[in-house]
Structure 1
């Protein structure tokens, strides 16, 4: 379970992550990583559409992604926003496949964000 201060719930912050964040993709998810100038705890949000599956499948994907995010909070910097968007392939993924995919997506988003900062 994510602590309250680490939950992304404001629609404006979701828009900020989507519009200004660096995008990292993998087979099961897309990660949008944005750094804000505010000094708040890192926040994580999830988007799992009906294209992923029925309510049971969507909730399972969200639970697994939340558990992964809770274990990775220390790797996120203060002021960062991370939005994880699940793709339909996430419905068929087991725990190891999904977490591996989440790691790859975050790594790619971080690499893209760092290259933007250097330019």
Structure 2
């Protein structure tokens, strides 16, 4: 039987703060919180989750793995996320149909065109 995907681990300077930011961004809930890790999921029973763990070094360079978000309204979602503290990121994407943002600790993610346009 193949393995089941349980979570993505996110290195973080401040796991609690970044987990709360992503929980708000995604509409997730905190399912586990300890001094050295915080996990969020869509619902407590639904996997995969995002597990935020502490690191002492600052992020360097472009992420090798990132999340793609597909909202109903790309423009409104980008505005909401930027209002929450995300910032625009240039990773050399050029003129594309998605928007690249970075979370408060610099982790890049993409906001794809709205689901109504697919």
What TM-score, normalized by structure 2, do the two folds share? 0.23
> Greater strand share, 1 or 2?
2
What TM-score, normalized by structure 1, do the two folds share? 0.23
Higher relative contact order (CA 8 A, sep 6+): 1
Higher Rg of the two aligned structures: 2
